[in-house]
Amino acid sequence: MPNANSDITQFLEMQAAERGAAANTIEAYRRDLEHFAAHLDRLDKPLRQALPADVAGYARVIAVDGLAPASRARRLSAVRQLYKFLVGEGHVAEDPAARQSGPKLSRALPRTLSVAEVDRLIETARKRIDGTVGRERVRALRLHCLIELLYATGMRVTELVSLPRSVLKGDSRVLTIIGKGRRERLVPLNATARVALDRYLSVGEDAEDGVSPMLRTKWLFATTSAEGYLTRQRMAQELKELAAEAGLDPERVSPHVLRHAFASHLLDRGADLRTVQQLLGHADISTTEIYTHVLEERLKKLVLEHHPLAKG
């Protein structure tokens, strides 16, 4: 009978090849599944012969060990996925993890900004451009463009900073994004985002800036970093500096918070959850459901404003 390491390796190869799992995700699966296999080994129980009681026992062990609920849920999810794979491959007749649920998790609401706060951030970035020259002007135009694009599209920060210049080909009203798992999606650009992008790109035509070669590389936001483009850490740092300048708490502002603002503001103005899922590039709508509180608040407001019994 193949050993546990062989089964785990096959499962990880499937995750990488068929589902496009990232290297960090694969490594996390490996650690969690090796921990489970070591537990079974102490019981002298082969991975393929585990019973529901063995999986339940493992759940109790990691709970007693004081592992955080989120970490326990992640480990048990990895175990469930492994056994689904083994059943699908015909290596195991019955899934011993099928009925094993993880700990209930309280889902924190995403941090976000109000429309007025986002407007203030964007306006501060726009004003920074005035009076700048040379590389300072390039940086100011770049930051304004990044914020406009981020808020207009809801892209992940890594997707944004690593955009190739090839995304500019075709329809200027949309961008084609390659997201997690190499999944492709289209995101629309509003008028202000297109203007900010055009202003940033136009700086490459100004020989006095001395930066034309930089703007002609394969990356839209090219820098001299090892990656060849602006790092997400550098963008986050510039965004926090801008937040302080705009009179906002820098601790409340990050690229991911602007992504949350994009989704929350869309839902608040009538967009449906499925559309937001597609725009954000979520593979599973359950991920998008963290924003259901926005829908609930909107429904409450509609009832209070329009239901006859709510008057008076």
Residue-wise pLDDT for 278-306, tens only, equals 999 888 887 887 787 666 665 566 556 65
Question: What angle separates helix 69-88 from helix 52-64, to the nearest 10 degrees?
Answer: 160
Per the CB < 8 A criterion, the answer to whether 261 and 118 are in contact is: yes
Active-site entry in 39, 72, 156, 185: 156
At the fourth CATH level, the homologous superfamily of domain 115-301 is Intergrase catalytic core (1.10.443.10)
Residue 46 CA to residue 4 CA, distance in Å, equals 7
Using the predicted structure, report yes or no on whether residue 153 has a pLDDT greater than 90: yes
| Candidate list 58, 151, 200, 291, residue with the active-site label | 291
Please pick, among 72, 259, 260, 265, the residue that the annotation labels catalytic.
259
CATH class of the domain defined by 4-88? mainly alpha
Has this prediction a pTM greater than 0.85? Answer: no
281: left (phi over 0), alpha (psi -120 to 50) or beta: left
* Active site annotation includes 128: no
Segment 114-126 shows an average pLDDT of: 95
Residue tagged active-site, from 48, 256, 293, 298: 256
Residue 308 has pLDDT above 80, yes or no: no
CA 8 to centroid of chain Cα atoms: 26
**307 noted as active-site residue:** no
Contact 221, 229 (CB under 8 A): yes
Residue 254 has pLDDT above 90, yes or no: yes
Q: Do domains 4-88 and 115-301 have the same CATH topology?
A: no
Given a contact cutoff of 8 angstroms between Cβ atoms, the answer to whether 8 and 34 are in contact is yes
- Average pLDDT, integer, range 145-161: 95
Please give the pLDDT value at position 202.
87
What are the residue boundaries of the structural domains of the chain, listed by start? 4-88, 115-301
H helix count then E strand count, the chain: 14, 2
Task: Locate 250 and state its tokens.
Answer: 């820098």
Beta partners for residue 177, in sequence order: 185
Percent of the chain with pLDDT over 90: 51
Q: Are 278 and 185 in contact (CB under 8 A)?
A: yes
Q: Which of 45, 180, 194, 298 is catalytic?
A: 180
The active-site residue out of 126, 185, 260, 282 is 282
Active site residue 180: yes
Residue 247 — left, alpha, or beta (φ > 0 → left; ψ -120 to 50 → alpha)?
A: left
291 is catalytic: yes
Band of residue 211 on the pLDDT scale cut at 50, 70, 90: very low
Inter-axis angle of helices 115-129 and 255-268, nearest 10:
130
pLDDT at 208: 44
- Annotated active-site residue 293? The verdict is no
What value does the mean pLDDT of the chain take?
86
* Of 254, 281, 256, 257, the residue nearest 175 (C-alpha): 281
Q: For residue 307, what pLDDT band results from cuts at 50, 70 and 90?
A: low
Whether residue 112 has pLDDT greater than 70: yes
Q: Is 282 a catalytic residue?
A: yes
Whether 50 contacts 1, CB under 8 Å:
no
Q: 26: which 2 tokens? A: 């694969």
E strands present in 117-229: 174-178, 184-188
**Cα–Cα distances in angstroms (integers) from residue 288 to residues 125, 146, 185, 280, 292, in the given order:** 29, 23, 16, 8, 8
Q: Is the pLDDT of residue 46 over 80?
A: yes
